[in-house]
Amino acid sequence: MMRLHTHPASPFGRKVLVAAHELGLAAEIKVEHRKVSPVEPHPEVVADNPLGKLPTLVREDGTPLVDSRVICEYLDARAGGGRLHPEEPELRWRALMLQALADGMMEASVLARYETVLRPEALRWPAWLEHQKRKVARTLDRIEQQAQDLDPEAVHIGLIALACALGYLDFRFAEDGWRQGRPRLAAWFERFRTRPAMQATLPRDLVA
Amino acid sequence: MMRLHTHPASPFGRKVLVAAHELGLAAEIKVEHRKVSPVEPHPEVVADNPLGKLPTLVREDGTPLVDSRVICEYLDARAGGGRLHPEEPELRWRALMLQALADGMMEASVLARYETVLRPEALRWPAWLEHQKRKVARTLDRIEQQAQDLDPEAVHIGLIALACALGYLDFRFAEDGWRQGRPRLAAWFERFRTRPAMQATLPRDLVA
């Protein structure tokens, strides 16, 4: 049995779990929810990942794998290879590029969340928060313009990452209304989010 | 000719350029230095990468690729494949895991740099800075303990990323003395840093 250190609110952790579900590997992963704070490391996570970050996968032989991109590629290979990471070069670069944009939106969103929730109120910097949010908005706009990437039949790592980024925006920044002015992205997500892999991994906070 | 938006102080940009040199592709890339700030996007970078982040590669046909991991994998494939990203599975996971740890150190170091240089002094949060630095220190310690990864003859994307992370620490955090207590890592870097690809990409600030 593999073990996954993660948290049900983490968009990167969700990406790994959606990939595992899509690949039929979810039953081989024991999920261990860890409450980590970016200013207080979790000893059991640190034992496997010195960065202290989630998600961290631990293989049956005890070897850890980080981060979410590496874990997803590992799971794909374990399921036979090439299902979520296309092997045909141009399809591969498009999927990996979309994943990079989605990961970048998640990173910016998580930094925005830290700035509004974690950092002591007197030390918050509005320009930083604003800039993180604008990164996300520009990237959403670009994907909306290039909606040929949003093949309603396709499932690959770029689309999984995008769906997790959008799900995180709904979870933490619903008031920003990302669907506004982006009808193609909204329509694509409306369909993708009904996939069993997405429904099985809805973000939530851990109750103490 | 490919174009690369980057900055000579960026450790992620350096990773791409070291990879390009190692693969014999440096002459095919036009380097365009961009001064980007995390609170003020650069219009020419944003035109190719809505996240506004460096490095961003633009292929001959105008299609952009981000981020450094995707660009390095693309360059490796372009040079024939498998030279920097091993194809044998266990070697591949070790190289990608090391890259993920090194990228995590770079990210933490860049966040530490923002906290000490970019953010207005009154808004700095010592606990955040301390935590970023401890992530780096723990990861250096882990790599020092698992020094079997530090094959002095090998060159792969994990080792390139590690060398760029260490070079960035020397460049921005020399006073932290990362070599202290980590003789194997120091000895490995002392040798790796003499490679022409490393010497051709030494970090520096842009003079206005």
Instruction: Say yes or no: A89 contacts chain B, CB-CB below 8 A.
Output: yes
- Higher-confidence residue of B34 and A148: namely B34
- Cross-chain residue pair B39–A131, CB shorter than 8 Å: yes
Task: Compute the half-sphere exposure of residue A11: CA atoms within 13 Å on the CB side of its CA.
Answer: 25
**Within chain A, which residue ranges are assigned CATH 1.20.1050.10?**
89-195
Q: Give A152→chain B minimum CA distance, Å.
A: 22
Q: What confidence tier does A147 reach under pLDDT thresholds 50, 70, 90?
A: confident
Q: What is the pLDDT of residue B208?
A: 60
- Higher-confidence residue of B121 and A207: namely B121
Q: What confidence tier does A150 reach under pLDDT thresholds 50, 70, 90?
A: very high
Instruction: Say yes or no: B38 contacts chain A, CB-CB below 8 A.
Output: yes
* Cβ–Cβ < 8 Å for A65, A74: yes
Q: What confidence tier does B147 reach under pLDDT thresholds 50, 70, 90?
A: confident
**B contact residues 150-169, partner A, Cβ 8 Å cutoff:** none
- Higher-confidence residue of A37 and B30: namely B30
Q: Give A197→chain B minimum CA distance, Å.
A: 25
User: What is this structure's pTM?
Assistant: 0.97
Q: What is the pLDDT of residue A39?
A: 78
Paired tokens of A60: 């049956």
**Within chain B, which residue ranges are assigned CATH 3.40.30.10?**
2-78
* Cβ–Cβ < 8 Å for B8, B205: yes
Residues of A in contact with B125 (CB under 8 A): 119-120, 123
Residues of B in contact with A128 (CB under 8 A): 38-39, 119
Q: What confidence tier does A53 reach under pLDDT thresholds 50, 70, 90?
A: very high
Whether ipTM tops 0.90, in short, is yes
Neighbouring-strand partners of residue A30 = A3
B138: Cα separation from own chain's centroid: 18
Tell me which chain B residue has its CA closest to the CA of residue A59. B93
Instruction: Say yes or no: B66 contacts chain A, CB-CB below 8 A.
Output: yes
Q: What is the mean pLDDT of residues A165-193?
A: 98
* Cβ–Cβ < 8 Å for A7, A168: no
Those residues with Cβ within 8 angstroms of residue B141's Cβ, 6 or more apart along the chain or in another chain: A50, B181, B182
- Cross-chain residue pair B100–A69, CB shorter than 8 Å: yes
Q: What is the pLDDT of residue B40?
A: 81
What CATH class does B89-195 carry? mainly alpha
Q: What is the pLDDT of residue A208?
A: 60
Dihedral over alpha carbons A22, A24, A26, A28 (to 10 degrees): -150
pLDDT higher than 80, residue A38: no
| Rounded Cα–Cα distance for residues A54 and A56 (Å) | 5
* Cβ–Cβ < 8 Å for A38, B131: yes
Paired tokens of B161: 């990323």
Tens digits of per-residue pLDDT, A103-127?
999 999 999 999 999 999 999 999 9
A2-78 classified as CATH 3.40.50.2300: no
* Cα three-residue angle B158-B160-B162, rounded to 5 degrees: 70
Q: What is the mean pLDDT of residues A142-155?
A: 92
| DSSP SS3 for A30 | strand
- Cross-chain residue pair A138–B51, CB shorter than 8 Å: yes
| Rounded Cα–Cα distance for residues B103 and B75 (Å) | 18
- The residue written with tokens 């992530």 in the block is B135
| Rounded Cα–Cα distance for residues B196 and B83 (Å) | 17
Optimal mutation site among A49, A51, A93, interface B, most CBs of chain B within 10 A: A51
Tens digits of per-residue pLDDT, B78-100?
999 999 999 999 999 999 999 99
| DSSP SS3 for B12 | helix
| Rounded Cα–Cα distance for residues B208 and B29 (Å) | 23
Task: Compute the half-sphere exposure of residue B16: CA atoms within 13 Å on the CB side of its CA.
Answer: 29
Of B38, B99, B127, the CB nearest to A39: B127
Q: What is the mean pLDDT of residues B63-81?
A: 98
